[in-house]
A and B are shown apart, each in its own frame.
Chain A
Amino acid sequence: MALSHEEILAHIQAGCGDTAVVIPDSYGVVCVEVPTQQLFRLVNHLFKDQHFKFNILTDLCGVHYPEQKGKELGVVYHIQSMIHRAMIRIKVFAPIENPEIPSLTGIYAMANWMERETYDFFGIKFAGHPNLKRILNMDEMIDFPLRREFPLEDPFRQDKADYQFGR
């Protein structure tokens, strides 16, 4: 039984007190932006609901938009219903000065490492995470490498000087 977009949207709005802003998506995924405070409530609602069963967190990743003032850092969640074969994309944004987003580890065990990875890459602090520390990079690292301004290549290396590449 395929769910219509309207049904899913009404379901989402019920979970976050009509605060979700719909983002148009041309690829057929229901995509909403919710305020940070409402995220946990919404995901919990989706997780607990027995009819729609959006209870699988498929993917979680960060994204950085330097030009969106006050909403620079975002986290994108893909939540899936295996029964209805539908997917919801939920976005939350936080300012870069204090990027704090509620952790979903209380609902999903898998969010643990995904959130640590997002912290590692973007410096987004997940409030309520049991063990928020770097996972892929070295603990000594101070920068957050996947922010747009961070260079891809190692800035401290001695070989491969710029003049060799005409830069």
Chain B
Amino acid sequence: MRTNKEYIADFHNPDMPDIPYSTLNLGPTHPATHGIFQNVLKMDGERIVDAEQTVGYIHRAFEKIAERRPLYQITPLTDRLNYCSAPINNTGWHLAVEKLLGIQVPKRVDYMRVMIMELARISDHLICNSILGVDTGALTGFTYVYQYREKIYEIYEEICGARLTTNMGRIGGFERDFSPKVFELTKKFLVEFPKIWREFESLLSRNRIFMDRTIDTGPISVERALNYGFTGPNLRATGIDYDIRTADPYCSYEEFKFDIPVGTTGDTYDRFVVRNEEIWQSLSLVEQAIRKIEACEPGIYHADEDHYYLPPKKEVYRNMEALIYHFKIIMGEIEVPAGEVYRAVEGANGELGFYLVSDGGRSPYRLHFRRPCFIYYQAFPEMIRGQLLSDAIVVMSSLNVIAGELDA
């Protein structure tokens, strides 16, 4: 059997006779693509020669909406970027605004944010890895671990009342303190989930079929990955230990102890293994965050910034000043400094950046989301060139391309 490398060499060899290629349309509503992407593939039998991508099928004009909304109303938009891990997006947006406004948040808020962000990372990688299992033929793992995503949803619900699009937190902190039930549920999750995940891991990570399907499929070299602007687990799978949590720490990540897993070849298996290890690291981070929250003085859950943080409802009804602030914040009359900030957070699939240009008005003058999916999905044709069609599906699901984030 010829290897992929031999096939690619033949493809680039000008002496090879021209083969009549066939065209295959994959998408935009193909069941295997987990989202709305169209790929027009040029095929030589079962091998992919080239792919042409079309995106934009759920373009919702986030950046335009953001120009017409006050700062706090943009949080619900960020939920819908990478909807598998909404709290990371929420926090990223809040961090960008806090950087613009110069708000210092208390340590306890930082730890609370770390806790929810890492839970969100677990839930995102959990979906990605289990879907990768589905695409290689192991549906059971997905239905099994998905129950534990429900457990994470329960924690979210206890914090903010929503399951998926969380709209969690406020500029300057949280809308309310975490109830004791949150910690109870999280601790229970930390006890129960590792066992389940260990089982899932052992189902796939040394599985002959899974390894044959994923090793050497969709590899990308370090240079190409950097040139394509890869970030997050996909970049780390190629062997670069770049993680914004350590490169440009936010939310007191520098106080936490965690490892950054890296791969070597940047193929599908490496991406799977990196995500898998990140789940273990995230579990440890959640545990550390809980310990740190418990060591803090209880009851602090927002920055003491009257101008930007909504006063409690009780105060609004009784206190004149609180009413004024409430009115000002809701009507977007607060003073925002003019300036430009770029703040990135380590999203579940890469560097999620917010470039915010403010002219001092109630809404951003320009807001650009650096969406990791949009950037690295460009490399897809290069990664699947010379591969089999069935492998292309696996590569796509291992890249964790989220349509909502791709098209914004």
Residue in B67, B224, B365, B377 whose beta carbon sits within 8 Å of that of A109 in the complex: B224
Number of residues from A at the complex interface, CB < 8 A: 36
Q: Give the interface centre of B64, B224, B339 by most chain A CB atoms within 10 Å.
A: B64
CB <8 Å contact, A145 and B64: yes
CB <8 Å contact, B64 and A146: yes
A124 to chain B, nearest CB (A): 14
- Chain B facing A: main interface SS: mixed
A96 within 8 A of partner (CB): no
Give A26 to B339 CA distance when docked, in angstroms.
7
B296 within 8 A of partner (CB): no
CB <8 Å contact, B357 and A63: yes
Q: Please, which residue of chain B has its CB at the minimum distance from the CB of A76?
A: B355
Question: Contact mask A110-154 → B, CB, 8 Å, 1/0?
Answer: 101110010001000000000000111110000001100010100
B55 within 8 A of partner (CB): yes
Inside 8 A of B375's CB, which chain A residues have their CB?
110, 113-114
Scan residues 11-61 of chain A and give those whose CB is less than 8 A from a CB of chain B.
Answer: 25-27, 29, 31, 55-59, 61
Question: Contact mask A96-112 → B, CB, 8 Å, 1/0?
Answer: 00000000000011101
CB <8 Å contact, B229 and A56: yes
Q: Provided the pairs A113-B374, A146-B63 are in contact, do residues A108 and B229 lie with their beta carbons within 8 angstroms? A: yes
Give A137 to B339 CA distance when docked, in angstroms.
29
Q: Please, which residue of chain B has its CB at the minimum distance from the CB of A110?
A: B229
Q: Please, which residue of chain A has its CB at the minimum distance from the CB of B370?
A: A59
Scan residues 64-89 of chain A and give those whose CB is less than 8 A from a CB of chain B.
Answer: 64, 76, 78, 82, 85, 87, 89
Q: Provided the pairs A58-B351, A152-B61 are in contact, do residues A109 and B248 lie with their beta carbons within 8 angstroms? A: no
Q: Please, which residue of chain A has its CB at the minimum distance from the CB of B58?
A: A136
Give A127 to B268 CA distance when docked, in angstroms.
36
Q: Give the interface centre of A59, A63, A152 by most chain B CB atoms within 10 Å.
A: A59
Inside 8 A of A27's CB, which chain B residues have their CB?
99-100, 339-341
CB <8 Å contact, A57 and B229: yes
Question: Contact mask B54-87 → A, CB, 8 Å, 1/0?
Answer: 0110010101110110000000000000000000
Inside 8 A of B248's CB, which chain A residues have their CB?
85
Inside 8 A of A109's CB, which chain B residues have their CB?
224, 227-229, 378-379
Inside 8 A of B56's CB, which chain A residues have their CB?
134-138
CB <8 Å contact, B368 and A59: yes
CB <8 Å contact, A25 and B226: no
Inside 8 A of B408's CB, which chain A residues have their CB?
136
CB <8 Å contact, B63 and A121: yes
CB <8 Å contact, B342 and A78: yes
B197 within 8 A of partner (CB): no
Q: Provided the pairs A59-B342, A136-B55, A152-B65 are in contact, do residues A112 and B378 lie with their beta carbons within 8 angstroms? A: yes
Give A58 to B227 CA distance when docked, in angstroms.
10
CB <8 Å contact, B227 and A25: no
Inside 8 A of A135's CB, which chain B residues have their CB?
55-56
Q: Provided the pairs A76-B355, A78-B355, A85-B247 are in contact, do residues A110 and B227 lie with their beta carbons within 8 angstroms? A: yes
B353 within 8 A of partner (CB): yes
CB <8 Å contact, A136 and B355: no
B407 within 8 A of partner (CB): yes
Give A150 to B67 CA distance when docked, in angstroms.
12
Inside 8 A of B353's CB, which chain A residues have their CB?
58-59, 78
Q: Provided the pairs A25-B340, A78-B355, A135-B56 are in contact, do residues A56 and B226 lie with their beta carbons within 8 angstroms? A: yes
Give A82 to B248 CA distance when docked, in angstroms.
10
Inside 8 A of B99's CB, which chain A residues have their CB?
27
CB <8 Å contact, B229 and A58: yes
B242 within 8 A of partner (CB): yes
Inside 8 A of A89's CB, which chain B residues have their CB?
340, 342
CB <8 Å contact, A25 and B59: no
Q: Give the interface centre of A113, A134, A150 by most chain B CB atoms within 10 Å.
A: A113
Q: Please, which residue of chain B has its CB at the minimum distance from the CB of A120?
A: B56
CB <8 Å contact, B342 and A63: no
Q: Please, which residue of chain B has its CB at the minimum distance from the CB of A150?
A: B64
Q: Give the interface centre of B68, B228, B379 by most chain A CB atoms within 10 Å.
A: B228
Inside 8 A of B224's CB, which chain A residues have their CB?
109
Inside 8 A of B34's CB, which chain A residues have their CB?
none
Q: Please, which residue of chain B has its CB at the minimum distance from the CB of A111?
A: B229
Inside 8 A of A87's CB, which chain B residues have their CB?
342
CB <8 Å contact, A61 and B368: yes
Scan residues 372-388 of chain B and give those whose CB is less than 8 A from a CB of chain A.
Answer: 374-379
B366 within 8 A of partner (CB): yes
Give A137 to B100 CA distance when docked, in angstroms.
31
CB <8 Å contact, A82 and B247: yes
B240 to chain A, nearest CB (A): 8
- Using A56-B229, A134-B56, A137-B59 as known contacts, list a sample of 5 further A-B pairs with CB atoms less than 8 Å apart, ordered by residue number in A: A27-B339, A58-B344, A136-B59, A136-B407, A136-B408
A-B residue pairs, 10 tightest by C-beta: A110-B229, A136-B56, A61-B368, A136-B59, A59-B370, A109-B227, A63-B366, A109-B228, A110-B228, A113-B378
27 residue pairs of the A-B complex, CB under 8 angstroms, read: A26-B337, A27-B100, A27-B340, A55-B226, A58-B342, A59-B342, A59-B368, A61-B355, A61-B366, A82-B247, A87-B342, A89-B342, A108-B227, A109-B224, A110-B227, A110-B228, A110-B229, A113-B375, A113-B378, A117-B374, A121-B63, A134-B56, A136-B407, A136-B408, A146-B64, A152-B64, A152-B68
